[in-house]
């Protein structure tokens, strides 16, 4: 009887955790559509020569020295109206959905504290700095 109660509590806890994760993921996707899709497109492909393609460029940027910081300092991130926790969730959603297989597992999730710290340092010469990464 006691074991069943413990099992039921554990299952309930896991279900609640999964539901909370689904809600964060759903909200991050909605925030992407509202705040990022205008430039990057629904599939994250950007605009050739103007706005980078997440599927083509993000994995390389995230795995290069300075790339993680660079991503958090671009104007679209630093000037976003989203609070830092939701912005971190959007960045994590983008990594999970638009990077090549295996990249997202190697990248530590973005945190609200990290985003909060770096979003105060807007890159003004994005196009000049991107090729250096």
Q: Is the pTM of this model over 0.85?
A: no
- Name the pLDDT band for 3 (thresholds 50, 70, 90): low
Match 């997440």 to its residue by tokens: 54
Mean pLDDT confidence for 104-121: 93
Model confidence at 29, pLDDT cuts 50, 70, 90, reads: very high
Indicate whether 86 pLDDT > 90: yes
pLDDT average, residue stretch 75-90:
95
**Selection from 75, 67, 66, 58 nearest residue 120 by Cα:** 75
Residues 6+ apart with CB under 8 A from 121: 73, 78
Q: Please give the pLDDT value at position 15.
A: 46
User: What average pLDDT is seen over the chain?
Assistant: 85
Tell me the per-residue pLDDT of 42-67, one tens digit each, with 9 for 90 and over.
999 999 888 889 999 999 899 888 99
Residues 6+ apart with CB under 8 A from 58: 44, 52, 71, 94, 95, 98, 99, 103
**Residue 45 to residue 25: CA distance in whole angstroms:** 20
Residue ranges of domains in the chain, CATH in brackets: 25-132 (1.10.760.10)
């Amino acid at each position: 009887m006691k074991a069943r109660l413990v099992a039921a509590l554990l299952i309930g806890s896991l279900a609640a955790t999964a539901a909370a994760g689904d809600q964060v993921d759903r909200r991050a996707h909605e925030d992407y559509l509202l705040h990022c899709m205008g430039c990057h497109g629904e599939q994250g492909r950007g605009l050739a020569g103007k706005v980078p393609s997440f599927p083509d460029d993000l994995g390389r940027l995230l795995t290069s020295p300075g790339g993680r910081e660079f991503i958090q300092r671009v104007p679209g991130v630093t000037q976003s109206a989203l609070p830092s926790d939701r912005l971190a969730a959007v960045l994590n959603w983008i990594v999970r959905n638009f990077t090549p297989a295996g990249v997202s597992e190697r990248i530590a999730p973005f945190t609200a504290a990290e985003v909060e710290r770096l979003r105060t340092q807007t890159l003004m010469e994005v196009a000049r700095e991107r090729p250096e990464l």
